[in-house]
């Protein structure tokens, strides 16, 4: 059974920082793409950041690339999202997601999902 366990959400003021963590276990495939989506209230879920746990380049959405950083602990199947200079528009439920490839991840084609962690940014 695939499990994605997230932590690190919360409430901050504009300009603050948060760090999200996700640990994946039980993944049935040898190649794992692990990352983050977010879903603001009343909006579609969108990809934020991700990367293969085996290493290589990472993906960061244009809307956050100057403020968010993704990092990995490949041996532990963990991924982190460092979020700096947070804005009210970053308020959303953030979901960890696992997929067999980058393309599958972005298309949400067969993704496994965590339970989500709420990030709220207030002015």
d(CA 120, CA 109): 28
Q: Note the pLDDT tens digit of each residue in 5-40.
A: 999 999 999 999 999 999 999 987 778 899 999 999
Q: Note the pLDDT tens digit of each residue in 67-91.
A: 999 999 888 889 999 999 999 999 9
d(CA 110, CA 93): 20
**What stretches of the chain adopt beta strand conformation (E)?**
3-7, 10-13, 18-25, 33-39, 46-52, 58-60, 68-73, 78-83, 92-99, 112-113, 117-122
* Average pLDDT score over residue span 95-107: 94
Would you state the pLDDT for residue 38?
Answer: 98
């Amino acid at each position: 059974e695939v499990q994605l366990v997230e932590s690190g959400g919360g409430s901050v003021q504009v300009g603050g920082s948060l760090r999200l963590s996700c640990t994946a276990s039980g993944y049935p495939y040898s190649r794992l793409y692990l990352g983050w989506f977010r879903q603001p209230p009343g909006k579609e879920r969108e990809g934020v950041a991700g990367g293969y746990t085996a290493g290589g380049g990472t993906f960061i959405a244009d809307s956050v690339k100057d403020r968010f950083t993704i990092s990995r602990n490949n041996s532990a199947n963990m991924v982190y999202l460092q979020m700096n200079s947070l804005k009210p528009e970053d308020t959303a439920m953030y979901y960890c997601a696992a997929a067999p490839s980058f393309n599958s991840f972005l298309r949400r084609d067969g993704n496994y999902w965590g339970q989500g962690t709420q990030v709220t940014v207030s002015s």
